[in-house]
C-alpha cells in the first residue's frame, strides 16, 4: 500500500500559484484530486491543457492531468530507438509549472500499441517492451501514478482489447518466467488460478507488467485500469484484480474508467462501487468519468446522483473526468463536455457548488496524510543556454512553522552565488548539468528540488564560416547552438540513421539520402537556421533537392522580409529525390541568417542551391586544366555562381562534383587554403 501518496501529491499541490489554488475545485480537500484530460482541439495542434478558444485555463479548475492519448505506447514509440515525447513533455511542464499531479496513461494496452510490433517475434516483443519501459523511466524518472495495464479482461475466449494482434501476452509471460529463473534457478510455468495467458488459468503476464513498473518506479502508485467495471463486466474485473494479487503483482489500486454510466441510477452505482471495493480490498480510482448526454437536465441529474457517491467514498483516492469541452471529447458529438459554446452547462455549475460543501471538503482518501510544512518552488530563466550565457535560478520558499534558514543552489556540484536574491549561473562549458536546490527551515525541515539545464556551444556556423550565397546550403549543416536558437525539433530524439554525423543536433533528425546526408522525419513548425554571406543583393533562383512519400509536404525559406515557399511533390518514397524550383529576393548584402521552416510534415531536405545571374565572383578563367591537388575546394560555375564545397582526397572527383552540382560540365574550383583556382571538366 502506498501510504506516501499524499506526501508526494500534496508536495506538488503545495507549489501552485495563488491564483490556481484559489480556483481549483478540489482546493479545500487535502486528500483527493479532481482531474481531467488534455484536449485535442484538432490533430495538427496536438493535445493541449488549456483550451484557448474559450479562454479557459485548465489549472483554474483541475488539479490532476491525464493525457488522453499522448503517453500511450503507440503515440510515443515510433520504432526501435525512436520516441516522440513532444506532447507529453508539454503536458508535464504544464503540471510542473502549476503544481498539478501528472498521471501516466498507459504503459501496456492491447489497443494503440505501435503497429510495428505486430510482426515481431516473442523475443523481439520482449526487447521492445523493455525498451519502452526503460525509455519511460529515463524520460519521466519520478512518476507518481501510473496506469500500468489497460483493458485486459479475458471473457468469452478473447481479451477486452486486441492483445492477440501482438505477442505482448506471450512476451510478458516469458519475462515472468525469466524473472523466476533468475530468482530460483528454475523456469516454472506460472499458474495463479485466474483467467488468462499462457493458458486459461493465469494472469501472470499482467503481473509481470506491474513488476517491471515497480522495478523502475518504486514509489509510484500502480493501477490496473479497465472499462466495463460497474455494469457489463464487473465480476470479470473483480476476478482479474484478485488474480493479480494472487500472482504477487505489486498492484496498489484499481482504476474504474466509468464510461458506461449514462443510464445508471445513483443507488445502482453505489452498489457496484461498494461491491468492487469490498471484494478486492484495494483503493479505487475513478479514472475516466463521463456522462454522454446532450440534454442538460439529464446530464446534470446523472452528475448529482453519481459524483457525490464516488467523491465521498473513503476508499476512492481521486476522480478524473474524461474531457470537459463539448464537441471535443471522445464520445459521439463530444456531448460529455461540461462546457458548451464556451458556457458552463448546469452540471458544471452544480459541480462547482458541490465542491464547496462540507461533504466534499471533508471526504477522506485511502492515501490521505499531512502535507509538508515546508514548500518550495524553483524556476529557471531558460531550459537551455549557450556557453557564456547567464541562467537565473529563482527560488521561492515558505514554511508554516519557523522560518527559512538556508537555501543552497548547486550546478554540476558547484555552489552558485546569490546576487540580490537570485542565483545566477554563468555557463562555462557545454553539456547537461543537474541543478540541486536545498531549502532548510529553522524547525529542521529540509527539501531538495532537482532541475536540469542544457548548455550548448555558442551559436556559430557549422563549418566555422558563413555559407556563401550564391551557393549551396547542405540542409544537415545548420548552425551550431541550442535548440530554439539555431534549430528546433519537436522532440529531442535523433530518429535518423546518420551514425552520429552531428552530436549537437538537439533532436534534429539527420538521415542518409541522395548519396550523402539530409534532414528527415520532419514535422510542421520545426525549423533550421544557417549563417550565410550574401555577396550581392538581388533576385535569386532557388533549387531545393527534396523527397517525400506523403502529400502536402513542404517548407519555407526565409531571410529578412523575403520568403520562398517550397511545395514538395509526393514521390514513391523518401529515398527518391527531385529538384524543386522557386524564386526569392535578397534585399541586403553581407552576413545574415536564412531559416528553413517546415510547413507540411515528412519532407526530406538534402540541399538548397541559390543562383543569381546578377552575381559574379570575379574569377578569371585563365586557369590550368584539371590539375587538382588534394584539399578543400569551393565550386563555382563559369559565370561565378558559388555552387558548394567539396573535399578531394584523391578519389573520384567527378562523382563528388556531380553530387553537389547535379550535372556534368565545366566548373571552377578554388582551393580554400592556397586560393589557387583551377578549371575542372566534370565528365
Write down the pLDDT at residue 498: 83
Write down the pLDDT at residue 138: 92
Write down the pLDDT at residue 45: 59
Measured CA to CA in angstroms, residue 671 lies from 53, 211, 461, 679 at distances of 58, 63, 20, 12
Catalytic residue status for 151: yes
* CATH fold for domain 5-361: TIM Barrel (3.20.20)
Q: In a 10 Å sphere around its CB, with 0-12 CB exposed, 13-18 middle and 19+ buried, how is residue 156 labelled?
A: exposed
Residue 469 makes CB contacts below 8 A (sequence gap 6+) with: 532, 533, 534, 535, 540, 586, 594, 610, 642
Tell me the C-alpha distance between 123 and 326, whole Å: 44
* CATH for 374-456, options being 2.40.50.140, 3.40.1080.10, 3.30.450.20, 2.60.40.1080: 2.60.40.1080
Residue 556 pairs with which residues in a beta bridge? 565, 597
Catalytic residue status for 288: yes
Write down the pLDDT at residue 440: 92
Phi/psi of residue 32, each to 5°? Answer: -120, 160
Q: Which of 151, 526, 529, 641 is catalytic?
A: 151
Q: Taking a C-beta distance cutoff of 8 angstroms, is the pair 62, 35 a contact?
A: yes
Write down the pLDDT at residue 22: 37
Any idea where the domains of the chain sit in the sequence? 5-361, 374-456, 467-611, 624-682
Quote the distance between the C-alpha of residue 483 and its chain's center: 15
Quote the distance between the C-alpha of residue 348 and its chain's center: 31
Q: Taking a C-beta distance cutoff of 8 angstroms, is the pair 276, 284 a contact?
A: yes
The highest-level CATH class for domain 467-611 is mainly beta
Checking DSSP bridges between strand 145-150 and strand 101-109, what pairing results, if any?
A: parallel
Write down the pLDDT at residue 499: 83
Q: Do domains 5-361 and 467-611 have the same CATH topology?
A: no
Q: Which residue has the cell 474504474?
A: 256
Helical axes 266-280 vs 296-312, angle rounded to 10°? 30
Write down the pLDDT at residue 10: 36
Tell me the C-alpha distance between 237 and 248, whole Å: 17
Q: Taking a C-beta distance cutoff of 8 angstroms, is the pair 236, 266 a contact?
A: no
Residue 604 pairs with which residues in a beta bridge? 547
Residue 476 makes CB contacts below 8 A (sequence gap 6+) with: 498, 501, 502, 510, 517, 518, 519
3-state DSSP assignment of residue 246: helix
pLDDT one-digit tens code per residue, 504-544: 887 899 999 898 999 999 988 899 999 999 988 888 999 99
Q: For the chain, which ranges sit under pLDDT 50?
A: 1-22, 369-371, 617-625
Q: In a 10 Å sphere around its CB, with 0-12 CB exposed, 13-18 middle and 19+ buried, how is residue 428 labelled?
A: exposed
Write down the pLDDT at residue 380: 84
Residue 411 pairs with which residues in a beta bridge? 414, 435
Q: Which of 288, 300, 305, 645 is catalytic?
A: 288
Tell me the C-alpha distance between 62 and 22, whole Å: 11
pLDDT one-digit tens code per residue, 335-373: 999 999 999 999 999 999 999 999 999 999 988 743 456
Tell me the C-alpha distance between 502 and 185, whole Å: 45
Write down the pLDDT at residue 195: 60
Write down the pLDDT at residue 619: 46
The C-alpha cell at 484 is: 530554439
**Considering Cα of 640, then 642, then 648, then 653, what sign does the dihedral take?**
negative
Amino acid at each position: 500500500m502506498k501510504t506516501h501518496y499524499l506526501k508526494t501529491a500534496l508536495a506538488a499541490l503545495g507549489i501552485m500559484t495563488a491564483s490556481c489554488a484559489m480556483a481549483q475545485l478540489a482546493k479545500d480537500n487535502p486528500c483527493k484530486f479532481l482531474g481531467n484530460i488534455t484536449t485535442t482541439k484538432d490533430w495538427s495542434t496536438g493535445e493541449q491543457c488549456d483550451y484557448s478558444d474559450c479562454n479557459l485555463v485548465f489549472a483554474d479548475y483541475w488539479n490532476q492531468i491525464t493525457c488522453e492519448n499522448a503517453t500511450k505506447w503507440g503515440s510515443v514509440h515510433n520504432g526501435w530507438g525512436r520516441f516522440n515525447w513532444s506532447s507529453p513533455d508539454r503536458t508535464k511542464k504544464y503540471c510542473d509549472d502549476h503544481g498539478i499531479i501528472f498521471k501516466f496513461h498507459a504503459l501496456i494496452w492491447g489497443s494503440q500499441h505501435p503497429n510495428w510490433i505486430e510482426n515481431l517475434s516473442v523475443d523481439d516483443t520482449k526487447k521492445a517492451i523493455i525498451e519502452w519501459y526503460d525509455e519511460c523511466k529515463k524520460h519521466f524518472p519520478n512518476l507518481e501514478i501510473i496506469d500500468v495495464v489497460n483493458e485486459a479482461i479475458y471473457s468469452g475466449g478473447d481479451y477486452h482489447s486486441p492483445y492477440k494482434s501482438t505477442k505482448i501476452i506471450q512476451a510478458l509471460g516469458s519475462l515472468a518466467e525469466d524473472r523466476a529463473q533468475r530468482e530460483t534457478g528454475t523456469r516454472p510455468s506460472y499458474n495463479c488460478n485466474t483467467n488468462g495467458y499462457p493458458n486459461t488459468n493465469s494472469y501472470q503476464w499482467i503481473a509481470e507488467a506491474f513488476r517491471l513498473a515497480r522495478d523502475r518506479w518504486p514509489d509510484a502508485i500502480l493501477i490496473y485500469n479497465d472499462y466495463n467495471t460497474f455494469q457489463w463486466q464487473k465480476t470479470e474485473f473483480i476476478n482479474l484484480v484478485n488474480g493479480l494479487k494472487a500472482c504477487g503483482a505489486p498492484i496498489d489500486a484499481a482504476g474504474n474508467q466509468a464510461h458506461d454510466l449514462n443510464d445508471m441510477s445513483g443507488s445502482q452505482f453505489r452498489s457496484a462501487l461498494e461491491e468492487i471495493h469490498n471484494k478486492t480490498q484495494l483503493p479505487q480510482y475513478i479514472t475516466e468519468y463521463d456522462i454522454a448526454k446532450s440534454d442538460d437536465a439529464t446530464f446534470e441529474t446523472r452528475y448529482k446522483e453519481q459524483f457525490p457517491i464516488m467523491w465521498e467514498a473513503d476508499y476512492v483516492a481521486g476522480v478524473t473526468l474524461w474531457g470537459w469541452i463539448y464537441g471535443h471529447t471522445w464520445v459521439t458529438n463530444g456531448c460529455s463536455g461540461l462546457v458548451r459554446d464556451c458556457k458552463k452547462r448546469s452540471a458544471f455549475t452544480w459541480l462547482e457548488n458541490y465542491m464547496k460543501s462540507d461533504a466534499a471538503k471533508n471526504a477522506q482518501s485511502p492515501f490521505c496524510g499531512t502535507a509538508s510544512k515546508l514548500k518550495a518552488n524553483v524556476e529557471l530563466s531558460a531550459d537551455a543556454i549557450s556557453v557564456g550565457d547567464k541562467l537565473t535560478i529563482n527560488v521561492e520558499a515558505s514554511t508554516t512553522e519557523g522560518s527559512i534558514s538556508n537555501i543552497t543552489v548547486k550546478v554540476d556540484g558547484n555552489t552558485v552565488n546569490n546576487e540580490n536574491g537570485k542565483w545566477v549561473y554563468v555557463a562555462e562549458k557545454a553539456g547537461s548539468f543537474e541543478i540541486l536546490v536545498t531549502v532548510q527551515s529553522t524547525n529542521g525541515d529540509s527539501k531538495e528540488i532537482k532541475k536540469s539545464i542544457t548548455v550548448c556551444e555558442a551559436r556559430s556556423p557549422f563549418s566555422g564560416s558563413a555559407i556563401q550565397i550564391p551557393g549551396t546550403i547542405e540542409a544537415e549543416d545548420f548552425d551550431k547552438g541550442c535548440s530554439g536558437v539555431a534549430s528546433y525539433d519537436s522532440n529531442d530524439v535523433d530518429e535518423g540513421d546518420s551514425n552520429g554525423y552531428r552530436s549537437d543536433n538537439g533532436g534534429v533528425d539527420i538521415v542518409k539520402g541522395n548519396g550523402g546526408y539530409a534532414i528527415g522525419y520532419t514535422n510542421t513548425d520545426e525549423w533550421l537556421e544557417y549563417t550565410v554571406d550574401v555577396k550581392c543583393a538581388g533576385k535569386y533562383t532557388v533549387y531545393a533537392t527534396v523527397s517525400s512519400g506523403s502529400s502536402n509536404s513542404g517548407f519555407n525559406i526565409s531571410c529578412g522580409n523575403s520568403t520562398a515557399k517550397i511545395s514538395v511533390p509526393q514521390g514513391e518514397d523518401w529515398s527518391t529525390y527531385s529538384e524543386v524550383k522557386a524564386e526569392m529576393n535578397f534585399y541586403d548584402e553581407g552576413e545574415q541568417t536564412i531559416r528553413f521552416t517546415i510547413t507540411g510534415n515528412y519532407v526530406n531536405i538534402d540541399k538548397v542551391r541559390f543562383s543569381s545571374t546578377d552575381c559574379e565572383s570575379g574569377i578569371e578563367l585563365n586557369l590550368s586544366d584539371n590539375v587538382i591537388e588534394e584539399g578543400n575546394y569551393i565550386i563555382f560555375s563559369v559565370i561565378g555562381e558559388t555552387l558548394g564545397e567539396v573535399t578531394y582526397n584523391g578519389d573520384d572527383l567527378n562523382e563528388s562534383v556531380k553530387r553537389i552540382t547535379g550535372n556534368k560540365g565545366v566548373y571552377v574550383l578554388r582551393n580554400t587554403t592556397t586560393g589557387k583556382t583551377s578549371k575542372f571538366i566534370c565528365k
